[in-house]
Amino acid sequence: MKPLYCWRCERVVPMMDEREFAQFDATNRDAVLAVKSYRARRNVALEDTPLLRLYRPVRALYREFSHRAGLQAPRVSVEHLRQHRLADYGPACKSCGLPMRTPEAKLCAACGTRGSA
């Protein structure tokens, strides 16, 4: 994990490297299957599914990664945690220093500067 600015959170958060994200993604897929299974077995709507309980392993894994790196995990939705992946962000802006929103970005969304470092 590496601390990096998240434009969605509007603050620096722990970002997963590819090894961590692969483990996170597998745990998240297991949680999605658990939700689908729960709903099928009980014939209930999504809003009647204990999502917090079923996604607990995903949150716990991200907190564990953050803790190991000496960082504080933000309190955001599990869906948003998927966005905390280093590979999804571009290089630092040469003007403001914040990461470009994507690796292909040509314009800094934070300050409007064209190009990257």
Beta-ladder partners of 16: 85
Burial (CB count within 10 angstroms: exposed 0-12, middle 13-18, buried 19+), residue 52: exposed
In this prediction the pTM is 0.86
Clarify whether residues 23 and 55 are in a common domain: yes
70-116 pLDDT tens trace: 999 999 999 999 999 999 999 999 999 999 999 999 999 999 998 75
Task: Report how far residue 27's alpha carbon sits from residue 25's, in angstroms, rounded to the nearest whole number.
Answer: 5
If asked whether residues 75 and 100 sit together in one domain, one would say no
Mean pLDDT over residues 6-19, rounded?
A: 94
CA pseudo-torsion sign 75, 81, 83, 84: positive
Confidence of residue 117 (pLDDT cuts 50, 70, 90): very low
Q: Tell me the pLDDT tens digit for each residue of 40-80.
A: 999 999 999 899 999 999 999 999 999 999 999 999 999 99
- State how many domains the chain has: 2
User: Helix and strand tally (H, E) in the chain?
Assistant: 4, 2
Task: Please tell me whether residues 58 and 24 are part of one structural domain.
Answer: yes
Angstrom distance (rounded) from CA 48 to CA 19: 34
